[in-house]
Amino acid sequence: MSEPDGEHLGPYRLLSPLGSGGFGEVHLALDPEGRTVAVKVLHPHVAADASALTRLEREVETMRLVEGPYVAEVLDASMSGERPYLVTRYVQGRPLSVVPVPVTDLRRLAKGLAQALTAIHDAGVVHRDLKPANVMMAEGEPVVIDFGIASALDSLSVTASGAVVGTPGYLAPEVLEGQETGAPADVFSFAATLAYAATGRQPYGTGPLSAIAYRVVHHEPDLEGVPAWLEPLLRECLLRDPAARPTAAQICARLGVDTPSRGRHGVRGLSGTARRPTPSAMGAAGPAGPEPFPGALGPEPGAFLEAGGPSGGLGGVFAGGRRVEPTQGHADLHDLSTREWRPGRPTTDEARARHREKIRRRWVIGSGIFVALLAAAARTPLPEASLLLLASYSLIVVGDAAVALLSRGLFRIRRMVTDLSSVAGVVALWLVLSTLFSPFTLALFAGTALVVGVVFLLNA
């Protein structure tokens, strides 16, 4: 099911696989404007299930209403064709399941998760698989991924017969017992996730999946080490009776944060073909499908990219906290911007244009200083050579300014100002240097500048 690097799915260019979960394969991709997104291509056995696909299409309509800084929004979707897919915001960071725990800023994490859960529930969506692997830590802020996918695809034809979609230890007792579930189940998972972040331990221990599930239903959680300000709230959220648990909005109030208001960028309906994501929500996401329990356990889905790899760009690929070797195509991604897109942040083409303009500006200024040194050194012994150097530099730079005037580049005005200012600056520097220093001293300066420039180029 892997897509070759550079292939397209709808309007999206698939760059490289990030990982594979129970329901789909996640790709790092570019949207038509060059922004990074995450595209989850559904597995063939999921795409072949008409009822599951219809249910997912209906749920996606609601999932796309969920917006906020602490959720990875669903940006686009196409449930038609041979390869149905979802497009989400790509979040660059690391899952809570692999960051150092206990978390240093636990209050910040708790508030962010509470606001994420409120945004999800206000839209009428139930996550059903909230756990540390589905909480991305991006610059210290939590971002919840994969909301609604588990409940949308929880059908016998998609999962193993009798299986429960989710992760033991973070699933509510009513989910494990096969009862009707809703938002209170997410509150239970929220508390279990925070307990792990606060102590570094799963609140219901480790071991066989059946043993963990038994402890969830019949035992009290282990909250030893949870700060005093948080423990009472977690105990309420982990109550066996769903009706006794607080709501997400009540959790926000208990933590002293405002309930996030529901915002929309307009109706984003499904038409059977992929639609462009709205710019205000575009950027990054790292979705991954939930794992079935206790049926056949596939690869852990929480795939993501670790920033700051050996090359200083994209690092290794992780799946469920386990490092795997980068797949073919990651070596070509080091020049791509994979930072989350936010309003005001340049697109990939704009970033490249800015980089080219920066390099050009450095060359113009650097070469101008060198020419001024040489021309000043030659002013007394070789006045004609001095004037020739100045004239040649001025003609070249003024010509570049004329080209900028006729072009439609993003930085043509800035380019013209830089060029004309450089010419005036070189002439002024030539006059000052030739007046204050002897030709021999200036020649030494010019030689030193030449050596430094060559060394810099070789290092670059």
Residues involved in catalysis: 129
Q: How far apart are alpha carbons 314 and 335 in whole angstroms?
A: 9
CB 282 within 8 A of CB 345: no
Rg (CA), the chain: 29
CB 16 within 8 A of CB 329: yes
Separation CA 43–CA 174 (nearest Å): 28
Residue 40, marked binder: yes
Which amino acid, one-letter code, is at 153? L
Strands, sheet with 141-144, edge to edge from the N-terminal-most edge strand: 94-95, 135-138, 141-144
Tokens of 459: 């290092």
Gap between the Cα atoms of 380 and 382, Å rounded: 6
- Contact residues for 354 (Cβ-Cβ < 8 A; gap 6+): 346, 410, 411
3-class secondary structure per residue, the chain = CCCCCCCEECCEEEEEEEEECCCEEEEEEECCCCCEEEEEEECHHHHCCHHHHHHHHHHHHHHCCCCCCCECCEEEEECCCCCCEEEEECCCCEECCCCCCCCCCHHHHHHHHHHHHHHHHHCCCCCCCCCHHHEEEECCEEEECCCCHHHHCCCCCCCCCCCEECCCCCCCHHHHCCCCCCHHHHHHHHHHHHHHHHHCCCCCCCCCHHHHHHHHHHCCCCCCCCCCCCHHHHHHHCCCCHHHCCCHHHHHHHHCCCCCCCCCCCCCCCCCCCCCCCHHHCCCCCCCCCCEECCCCCCCCCEEEEECCCCCCEEEEEECCEEECCCCCHHHHCCCCCCCCCCCCCCHHHHHHHHHHHHHHHHHHHHHHHHHHHHHHCCCCCHHHHHHHHHHHHHHHHHHHHHHHHCCCCCHHHHHHHHHHHHHHHHHHHHHHHHHCCHHHHHHHHHHHHHHHHHHHHHC
Pick from 16, 11, 162, 150: nearest CA to 90: 16
Q: Which residue ranges make up the annotated binding site?
A: 40
Q: Which residues are annotated as a binding site for ATP?
A: 40
